[in-house]
Structure 1
């Protein structure tokens, strides 16, 4: 599918210990995406999502929006080709 993409987003702010990964997983599954949300040692959360570009863009918009738990001070994104990882959305 040519419109299938891979989004990697690094989310900065107060995003650990506030349910951020759980809500990100719920939103990604609502959008029909697969991937993972992972706490990083430096306090960021890395979100990797694969699926149709417009759905990944919707997740990115949500990550940058006011409805996320905690306080997001910035999001850095990178787009690429999907790797075809496992189904579902993991939290690590």
Structure 2
């Protein structure tokens, strides 16, 4: 069984006001990632994501390049301890 990884991912750039959180939720569900996404007051988007290393790598690539109107200038990663029994992916308002 693959090792579970969990990250706080901060996406910086043109990522608010374009449907990016909905895109992130769809990408997470497609990749088998659990967690959440929310806008930050500084214009960035914060994602908490948990899955296998391969799922997380695929997901991060989608965050960088997958939304046609986003301009992701930087992605910051902070590894967190995995949580037990997380399921689903939600948008936090």
Q: What residue in structure 2 maps to residue 71 of structure 1?
A: 71
Q: Distance between the aligned counterparts of 2:21 and 2:85, measured in 1?
A: 19
In the superposition, relative to structure 1, how do residues 13 and 81 fare at CA in structure 2: closer, same or farther (>3 Å)?
A: same
Q: Between Structure 1 and Structure 2, how many residues are aligned?
A: 91
SS in 2 for 1:42: coil
Deviating 4+ runs (over 4 angstroms): none
- What is the match of residue 3 of structure 2? 3
Q: Secondary structure at the match of 1:83?
A: coil
TM-score (norm 2): 0.88
* C-alpha displacement of 1:14: 1.0
Unaligned stretches of 5+ in structure 2? none
Match of 1:45 in 2: 45
CA distance in 1, matches of 2:85, 2:43: 25
Could you say if the C-alpha distance between residues 52 and 14 of structure 1 is closer, same or farther in structure 2, counting changes exceeding 3 Å? same
CA root-mean-square deviation: 1.5
Unaligned runs of 5+ in 1: none
